[in-house]
Amino acid sequence: MLQGNQKGGIRGQEERKFNEAKDAKKKAEANALLASLFKNAQSLKKNGEGEMPTDNKNIDLYNDPRMGTENMP
């Protein structure tokens, strides 16, 4: 006969139920967080924020752009 303090007893069953409910709650919170992050990312993309700049100016890394100016420090 199983007693209330054994793992297979009533206490063990209640503990398993509690842990399953706690795990389900954690998974639901994680899924909600992911959904909100993706929702925010999609709204930023729709608004045009977060896109790469489209002007493709060539940057000369070897020459200082300040060279040849009149008011050079």
Q: What is the pLDDT of residues 30-63, one digit of tens each?
A: 999 988 888 877 777 676 655 555 566 777 777 7
pLDDT of residue 54: 58
**Those residues with Cβ within 8 angstroms of residue 4's Cβ, 6 or more apart along the chain or in another chain:** 10, 11
Q: What is the pLDDT of residues 2-37, one digit of tens each?
A: 555 556 788 888 999 999 999 999 999 999 998 888
Would you say the pTM of this structure is higher than 0.75? no
* Residues 45, 51: Cα–Cα separation, whole Å: 7
pLDDT of residue 31: 93
- Alpha-helical regions (H) of the chain: 10-47
pLDDT of residue 32: 92
In contact, 11 and 5? CB cutoff 8 Å? yes
pLDDT of residue 26: 96
